[in-house]
Amino acid sequence: MLNTINIMIDGIETKVAKGTTVLEAARDLDIHIPSLCYLKGVNHSSSCRVCVVEVGPRLIASCTLKAEEGMKIQTNTKKVREARKTSVELLLSDHDRECLSCSRSGGCELQTVSNDLNIRTVTYVGEKSSQEKDYTSPSIFRDASKCILCGRCVGACGTMQTVGAINFAKRGFDTVISTAFGRPLEESTCVNCGQCIMACPVGALTEHENINDVWNALENASKYVVVQTAPAVRVALGEEFGLPVGTRVTGKMVAALRKLGFDKVFDTNFGADLTIMEEGTELISRITSGQNLPLMTSCCPGWVKFMEHNFPDRLDNLSTCKSPHEMEGAMVKSYFAKKMGIDPKNIVVVSIMPCTAKKFEGSREELSNESMQDVDWVLTTRELAAMIKEAGIDFVNLKGETFDSPIGEGSGAAVIFGATGGVAEAALRTVFEITSGKDLETIEYTAVRGMDGIKENVIELPNGQKIRTAVVHGLGNARKLMEAMERGEKAYEFIEVMACVGGCITGGGQPIVDARTSERIDIKAERAKAIYTEDEAQTVRKSHKNPYITALYEEFLGTPNSHLAHELLHTHYVKRSKF
């Protein structure tokens, strides 16, 4: 075939498509070539030299070497092994090797490669680069002493997300990964999405940890500590305990949270249903008035901050709705506090999120009421797993338990918020029925599902009104869509955006999957499948049918978009520097 070529790897003859790299060809044959800087779809720089192979007399990095007709490749000669060991030993010579206390111990790709290459001593010693730690961001902690300059974080931030908050700076031995002008991360254009953390093979980038803050709150007898969990957490937490990717652990998670000592265990799905009521009403209102269209979702704090930096003239298009966990926090400190007779100042709200950007969001002044933040602490899925392990809880063998009422009950529509397209589908389920006054028999809007970067669809309401909808995930795709709109090439009434590719299921706070595993398993697809399965298992699958949401409006808020609802559940955004 004209589009294939013949090559030989370790004596095995094979056909590969033109343009295939030697690394890809070898892995298709189950021949393992170690790598560090390579991350499929994100970074292909051949900078670490760990993936070298022998082609004739030359050693060449296989991650960027395109296969050629008749090429003979050897992956396991003495010359190859020694070159790989030398490359890794040089990395270790300038690396903070305090592995036992590192957050990535046991899951560090440098550690794995070192073990695989049987490196037992560090041959090269000498001057070490002096690196500072950056604690300034409420979301992301940077420890440059552990950085191996692989460039994967730069690829994730610049190429994939088009944020460009970090890049290589200086030269030679002094090379570092830095923000513009070396400013603290907090003062950069970072949107806190955490995809740099997911890309990092070592412990140079982690979430800004708040575990001790939550332990202290739980130990404080004067505080009533409430926890809520986002839908994406339940389909990923099990991975931290050795369960297969996409395993649903909802009941075990609730049981573990009770064992940790939380006074109430709520489900952010309640807040998601509330978001649909407020945002769906807002959408109908904007379509009716023709103002500030398209309505863009505001559930994702990484996307919101991206807009504040890059498209400030479009901030009026963002929904004024707070995100689901912020809405839930506001309801805990108002509606729930009133029902329970608890002073809201004594309530601590902890959110377990798949997202590092939620940490920044929780600290925003715009998300508070009466000098109280709606949410006090945000923990990632990884941090929750760490707490469960620290407490000695046998997570895998826990018996499932259910969320507490009334703020622990959510619909199937709320569950699918965790996957790209979920917010749009949940909103359409409710908007369609509210405008028609009829119950729908078929409620799945499959046109907004799937992993295409930009999905477009037109929904026709019973009154003949058409809603042109776009669903976008990954900020690189979001930028493409926004720029197309600015050029007048695209027009919509409703746009859903999630900063992370795949949505919250692959958020910056989820279990980290090493580069090799992510090539073999479609993490996004497995977790999304679990999300939709949980939706199908729910008795109530539409937000406006949730009886606890109905009671909330009857007893407290009045109607969606009421004055009180706007006071507690809506917010505004701020223009930020582009540099």
Catalytic residues: 279, 282, 299, 319, 358, 361, 366, 504
Cβ 510 vs Cβ 394: under 8 Å: no
Cβ 25 vs Cβ 35: under 8 Å: no
Beta bridge partners of 43: 39
Distance from C-alpha of 459 to C-alpha of 442, rounded to nearest angstrom: 14
CA atoms within 13 A on the CB side of 92: 25
Q: Which residues, in sequence order, are CB contacts of 103 under 8 Å at separation 6+?
A: 203, 206, 209
Name the residue among 346, 102, 328 with its Cα closest to residue 225. Answer: 346
DSSP per-residue letters across 462-507? TTS-EEEEEEEESHHHHHHHHHHHHTTS---SEEEEESSTTSGGG-
First-residue to last-residue Cα distance in the chain? 50
What torsion do the CA atoms of 48, 54, 59, 63 make, to the nearest 10 degrees?
-40
Q: H-helix or E-strand containing 28?
A: helix 22-28
Q: H-helix or E-strand containing 368?
A: strand 368-369
Structural tokens at position 140: 């992301």
Helix, strand, coil % in the chain, rounded to nearest 5: 45, 15, 40
Structural tokens at position 413: 């529509």
Structural tokens at position 500: 């992370």
Entry field: residues in the chain: 579
Residue 16 backbone phi and psi in degrees, to 5: -135, 155
User: What one-character DSSP code corresponds to residue 570?
Assistant: B
Distance from C-alpha of 141 to C-alpha of 269, rounded to nearest angstrom: 29
List the 264-267 sheet strands across, edge first.
264-267, 224-229, 347-353, 377-380
